[in-house]
Structure 1
Amino acid sequence: MSLVDWFANLFVQEAKHYVFTPVVSDAEKLVFREGQHYFRLRLAEMFLKDDRKLFRKAVPVVSSVVSLQFGASAAQQLPNVAGPLALNLNENSLGKGVQLNYSLTNLVPYRGGNVSISAALLAYVSKDYFSAFLNLANSIAGQLTIGQLSAALKVVGSVAGALQDLLDSGDKEVRLVYHNEYAGTDDLGGVSLQSGYFAVIGAQAGKFNPEKLLVKNSQLYIGDDRQSAKPLAGYDYMLFGVEAALYRDDFRYFSEYNSLLYAAIEKGMLDKAEGDAVIRAGMLAVFKSDDLTYVDKTRVAAALKAEYEERLSQLLKAKNLLIPDDQWLNSRALAINPEATERKIAPVLANKQLDDVAIADTILEMVVKGEIS
């Protein structure tokens, strides 16, 4: 049985008419567009109404699985587990302090199609072996929330297996269960995936007023206004945040791009035409990446080309010139406006007659010709 099936069965068995609601926050509301935005799911906050009593006997855990399209492959299931033991807290520290913003997915390009989110707030009876096992499961799952997802997918099977063992082991109390599937757009009868916050609260629907809820500093508050609002208490709840982004700032550390960049500079020092051919291959590798959106692929390709030209020019003028890496691409690339890039390539992305390869070729030519820089 897959993790998605496990959550589906749990939902049927345990789900009640609890409160599910979007929550007002300062986050901008944005409907995701295929090929143009990144998506990341966070568990902003989890709360157990009897945490002081519970933490002495049990370990709180939010387990989740997100199913989404990644690259050209079938939908990927990205499992995760979040809980205070991820912070290496002992039993004397549990239930104290503030624990916020657990990443449940990496920053993943939104490819359209179906995106489903399942999560459960669980309380497991604490036993000698359980804490070590939970730490191990969390450590494995953490590999899916950093770096390139294309590389991290190698451990998905291990993560799913570990979490399946975790979910099936020990005595547990199910506090809350959540499942939702996003596809299409609201105005056409679908369910749009949007940025912002939503909460699942262990309160009886119809007897709880969600209109007074709001998010402050990644925490769930309730009140008539932001000034007088107080942290919500007295209910089990999970507060989730859906993040949208136009670009990611860690592409500089994608190993294949750096290796091609330095190879191009090395070739270009001897023969500019050979260097140009290598950097074009590097730009093409960018457009083949599953870890970037088309807006960001365009930005990164233009940034790599700009750095290649700038470095090569200076090195040819003074072959002994040494400039630290951090003075180059990081500032240069981020100066390339993603909003402007989005506007320039929007007509290409909207052309229904072009497949992914044709889109990549067309945009790459725009970068090479300097139409995007």
Structure 2
Amino acid sequence: MSLIDWFANLFVKEAKHYVYAPVTSEVEKIVFQEGQHYFRLRLAEMFLKDDRKLFRKVVPVVSSLVSLQFGSIAAQALPNVAGPLALNLSESSLGKGVQLNYSLTNLVPYRGGTVSVSAALMSYVSKDYFPAFLSLANNVAGLLTIGQLSATLKVVDSAVGALQDLLDSDDKDIRLVYHNEYAGSDNLGGVSLTSGYFAVIAADAGKFNPAKLFVKNSQLCFGDDLASSQPLTGYDYMLFSVEAALYRDDFRYFTEYNSLLYTAIEKGMTDKAEGDAVIRAGMLAVFKSDDLTYVDKTRVAAALKAEYEERLSLQGQLKGLSGTDGDWLSDRVLAIDPHGVWQQIEPLVADKLDDAVLSGRILGMIAQGKIT
């Protein structure tokens, strides 16, 4: 049985008419646009109403599965598992302290289509082997939440296998399940994917007022207003956050881009033509990337070219400054405005050009200095 089937069967067997509600917070509500935004799902908080009493005997776990389009893969399934034992806490520490904001996906370009989210809050009986097994499952799945997703997809099968072993265990109590699919837009009869928080609460929907829910410091609170609200207790619940981002700030650490940039600089210091050829190859690699949005591909390509040119023009001034010269240059690269870049390339994207034509035209605009 696949993970998707497992969640589907679980939902049929276990789902009740519980509370699902978007939650008021200070997060700006953004409707995701294909090619413009990145998507990331976090488990902001999970709570078992009897957690302190049970933690010495059971372990809380949230298992999730997010399905979305990634590159040419129409429905890439990204599994994950979150829980206190991911932090390598001892049994005596469970139920103490605050554990917030587990990343359930990487920062993934939103390609449109259907995004589905499934999650289950469970409590597992703690046995001698279980902490090590859960930690291993989390570590494997956690590889999908860092760096370049395209470079880490090879662990998906291992993550699926580890999670299926975990989910097939009989030593669990299913507390709460959730599934939702986002596609299209609300005003056309679809379900828009938007940024912000939402909560799933094991409470009778007819007796619970979701208008009194608020988020403060990534925690679910209940009260008459934000200022007076207090952390919600007495219910099992999961609080999720959906992040929308216009650009990635870690692209310089993508192995391929970083390698090509510094190869271009090295060659360009002795032969500008050779360096220019390498940096053009780096820019083309950016436009072929599945890890970046249309908008960010343009910004990253322009940023790599800008750093290459600045490094060469300042090579004389930077002699002897090894180890200190990079910081302010990096800041300038990251400061390239994604909103401004989007305004410059929006007419091209609106024409629905294929990737090859679009990349060629954008590279031409960068070479002519029309995109900065």
Determine the C-alpha separation between the residues in 1 that align with 2:68 and 2:354: 20
Equivalent position SS for 2:202: strand
Structure 1 contact 21–200 (Cα < 8 Å) conserved = yes
Q: Aligned runs of 1:1-80 on 2, under 5 Å?
A: 1-80=1-80
Q: Aligned runs of 1:251-330 on 2, under 5 Å?
A: 251-315=251-315, 317=316, 320-324=319-323, 326-327=326-327, 329-330=329-330
Determine the C-alpha separation between the residues in 2 that align with 1:233 and 1:284: 52
Equivalent position SS for 2:139: helix
2:161 maps to 161
Q: Aligned runs of 1:228-247 on 2, under 5 Å?
A: 228-247=228-247
Unpaired runs of at least 5, structure 2: none
Structure 1 contact 299–333 (Cα < 8 Å) conserved = no
Q: Which amino acid is 1:360 matched to? A: S
Post-superposition shift, 1:318?
6.2
Post-superposition shift, 1:74?
3.2
State the identity %.
77
Q: Give aligned pairs, total.
A: 371
1:88-134 CA-to-partner distances (Å, cap 9, x unmatched) read 11121111111100000011111111100000000111111111100
Equivalent position SS for 1:21: strand
Structure 1 contact 307–328 (Cα < 8 Å) conserved = no
Determine the C-alpha separation between the residues in 2 that align with 1:326 and 1:234: 51
Determine the C-alpha separation between the residues in 1 that align with 2:260 and 2:131: 44
Determine the C-alpha separation between the residues in 1 that align with 2:278 and 2:320: 22
Unpaired runs of at least 5, structure 1: none
Q: Which amino acid is 2:180 matched to? A: N
Determine the C-alpha separation between the residues in 2 that align with 1:102 and 1:199: 15
Equivalent position SS for 2:280: helix
Residues 116-125 or 277-286, more deviating: 277-286
1:283-334 CA-to-partner distances (Å, cap 9, x unmatched) read 111111111111111111111111111111222x469554436325421212
Backbone CA RMSD of aligned residues: 1.3
1:348 maps to 348
Determine the C-alpha separation between the residues in 1 that align with 2:112 and 2:7: 23
Q: Which amino acid is 2:351 matched to? A: N
Determine the C-alpha separation between the residues in 1 that align with 2:178 and 2:61: 14
- Do residues 179 (structure 1) and 164 (structure 2) align? no
2:371 maps to 372
Determine the C-alpha separation between the residues in 1 that align with 2:361 and 2:183: 28
1:224-244 CA-to-partner distances (Å, cap 9, x unmatched) read 111211111100000000001
Structure 1 contact 125–170 (Cα < 8 Å) conserved = no
- Do residues 360 (structure 1) and 359 (structure 2) align? yes
Determine the C-alpha separation between the residues in 2 that align with 1:290 and 1:320: 37
- TM-score, length-scaled by structure 2: 0.97
Determine the C-alpha separation between the residues in 2 that align with 1:364 and 1:46: 46
1:117 maps to 117
Determine the C-alpha separation between the residues in 1 that align with 2:67 and 2:74: 10
Determine the C-alpha separation between the residues in 2 that align with 1:85 and 1:309: 47
1:214 maps to 214
Determine the C-alpha separation between the residues in 1 that align with 2:227 and 2:320: 56
Determine the C-alpha separation between the residues in 2 that align with 1:263 and 1:55: 53
1:59-90 CA-to-partner distances (Å, cap 9, x unmatched) read 11000010011112232110000001011111
1:1-36 CA-to-partner distances (Å, cap 9, x unmatched) read 211111000000100000000000000000001111
Determine the C-alpha separation between the residues in 2 that align with 1:153 and 1:196: 27
